[in-house]
Structure 1
Amino acid sequence: MNPPHQHRGAAVAEPVQVPISALEHHTYCPRQAGLILLEDAFADDAATVRGTILHERVHTPGHETRPGTKTLRALPLWHDTLGLTGVCDVVEIRRRTITPVEHKSGRYQPGGPGDVQVAAQAMCLEAMFDTTIDTAVVWSATDRRRHEVAVDAALRATVEATTVAVRAMLTAAALPAAPADKRCRRCSMAESCMPKVLAGDRRYRQALADLYRTPTDEPPTPT
């Protein structure tokens, strides 16, 4: 980590570092990201286990070379200005291009969380290698194919906005509200999240308020 920047003799602290993987979680569901980052909570299901198995090979650091292409696996990434850190599954280096490749076990969703994650990786690589990356790739094990992602201005803005949102959540240490929508049916963390209990439940909020009520909060007794 670089030392704090100096400004008129005073040290300016670096921004809270945001894991690149958190951008994907936050894009899918801010509460899911909060449970993982703030409460160190995570639960496996069939999909997450498949993802873990898939990443065992690509997360083993190393490289290979074939004519015209050098492939790096598990490359550490960072972006000092955005305050992002993480690891890229695969980076393909050709003579004039650098391409991050994010491996996913599930079906590819155009414009989904995976696009935000791989675009953040591209932006980190740009800063690290002083280059420009217009295209990234999400490889889907379900589809058995590569999906190109245009790293355009709109997607870059989404990466920056999501980074700010995750950093704000980490700084405030406040767990986002449960959405209680169709996303919950596919989420491995639904049991620990309890979305149906927490989302917009007035009785729950009242019970929580009563639980932490102090004597000074009690209304005065009529005389």
Structure 2
Amino acid sequence: MNTPTLEDGGEGHLAQIPLSALEHYAYCPRQSGLIILEDAFADDAATVRGTLLHQRVDTPGNRGRGTVRTLHALPVWSDSYGLTGICDAVELHADGRILPVEHKSGRYRPGGPADIQAAAQAICLEEMFRRRVPEAAVYSAADRRRHKVTVDDELRTHVHQLTLTVRTMLSTSSLPPPAADSRCRRCSMATSCMPRALASTRRYQQALTDLYTLDDSQDDVP
């Protein structure tokens, strides 16, 4: 397995990027920036459901079921990528197969942000266990089933590039612009983000223009 070399973050060490930050950035760069750079986060019904779900699966420990040993709330990291985080569950199979299982309260979207987080977990486990982890899984509580994620070269490259992008955002402290699209209606951080007010929309640009436009009629006033 070829492991990419990322740029050093000072004194030969990489700035550690949380696995969750990759998922947030893949969904909305500004959301990730607000959480990492400004320590801003707000709960809504969806995030509370997610928290309650993880309380059930994130109790540290290991459990056995047949020939499968499951590790819960397992801390993972990758020194080569500069990643760190906690896996909801990691299954150790009798045949040597390692399978990270990421739990989500909402519906699963193939190729979505959850795949990025699951693949990053697989990359961390590969480095820790020195064993290939070609697959991961995302469990959706909404439909109560697992969804297979193939950790192929394309997905690994995406994780690599996204890690570099998030690290650049962290090093420059540059907050990405708001999306101001359909994602904002479902985001718990819309109030602090103010996407409609700050995005480069026609209404916003017109307001700026009106604010700094001189009224010629005022020139005649003594």
Tell me whether the two structures share a fold, i.e. TM-score over 0.5. Answer: yes
**Could you tell me how far apart the structure 1 residues matched to 2:166 and 2:48 are?**
25
**Could you tell me how far apart the structure 2 residues matched to 1:97 and 1:146 are?**
17
1:187 matched to which residue of 2? 187
**Could you tell me how far apart the structure 2 residues matched to 1:183 and 1:77 are?**
30
1:15 matched to which residue of 2? 14
**Segments of 4+ in structure 1 off by > 2 A?**
201-206
1:66 matched to which residue of 2? 65
Residues 5-57 of structure 1: CA distance to partner in whole angstroms, max 9, x if unpaired? xxxxxx83311110000000000000000000011111111100000000002
Give the letter aligned to residue 56 of structure 1. Q
Matched ranges for 1:200-211 at <5 A: 200=200, 201-202=204-205
Give RMSD over aligned pairs.
Answer: 1.6
**Could you tell me how far apart the structure 2 residues matched to 1:80 and 1:205 are?**
46
Report deviation, 1:124.
Answer: 0.2
Q: Between Structure 1 and Structure 2, how many residues are aligned?
A: 197
**Could you tell me how far apart the structure 1 residues matched to 2:190 and 2:47 are?**
13
> Is 2:15 aligned against 1:25?
no
Structure 1: segments with no counterpart, 5+ residues? 1-10, 207-223
Structure 2: segments with no counterpart, 5+ residues? 1-9, 210-222
Q: Structure 1 pair 98/202, CA: closer, same or farther in 2 (3 Å)?
A: same
Residues 174-215 of structure 1: CA distance to partner in whole angstroms, max 9, x if unpaired? 110001011111111111100000011347879xxxxxxxxx
Give the letter aligned to residue 158 of structure 1. H
2:137 aligned counterpart, secondary structure: strand
1:169 matched to which residue of 2? 169
2:138 matched to which residue of 1? 138
What is the TM-score normalised by the length of structure 2?
Answer: 0.85
1:220 matched to which residue of 2? none
**Could you tell me how far apart the structure 2 residues matched to 1:73 and 1:27 are?**
25
What is the TM-score normalised by the length of structure 1?
Answer: 0.85
1:77 matched to which residue of 2? 76
